[in-house]
Amino acid sequence: MSSYKNQRFRARLGFALRGLAHALRTEASLRLQALAGAAALLVLLVLRPPPLWWALVLLASAAVVAAELFNTAIEHLADLLHPQQSPAIRLVKDCAAAGVLVAVLGALGVAVALLVHLLLGSA
């Protein structure tokens, strides 16, 4: 059984923060997604939309960062288990990258909807 299982919350939080810090140090795409999330937060602070929009934008931003973290984990695990070129591993990595793309497109949809809401003043 893994030493990571059944640890106290504080220990598990430390594992998660260590993973996040490592991914931010080593993955340019995650840094870009985190920067986009910070920019979205700045836009929220400036535009001050209703609370529902805060929730939607923050949830969409978190989904993108989470997808990028899952993608990173899958890529590292795939490379560790199968370091040589493999069409099957390439497909796994492509599908993980597609998951990030879908999350990004969803977040862009939320951004467009927010802009339409603010420009047209609709509910």
Q: What's the pLDDT tens digit per position in 70-93?
A: 999 999 999 999 999 899 999 999
Question: Which CA distances in Å does 109 have to 57, 83, 96, 106, 120?
Answer: 10, 37, 20, 5, 16
pLDDT at residue number 122:
56
Above 90 in pLDDT, residue 5?
A: no
Residue 99: partners with Cβ closer than 8 Å, 6 or more residues away: 67, 70, 71
pLDDT band at 1 (very low <50, low <70, confident <90, very high): very low
CATH architecture of 9-120: Orthogonal Bundle (1.10)
pTM of the predicted model, to two decimals? Answer: 0.87
From 4-13, 52-61, 90-99, 110-119, the region with the lowest mean pLDDT: 4-13
Q: Across the chain, what does the average pLDDT equal?
A: 92
93-108 average pLDDT score: 97
Under 8 Å between Cβ of 47 and 76: no
Grade residue 2 by pLDDT with cuts at 50, 70 and 90.
Answer: low
Domain spans of the chain, in order of start? 9-120
Quote the pLDDT of residue 43.
Answer: 93
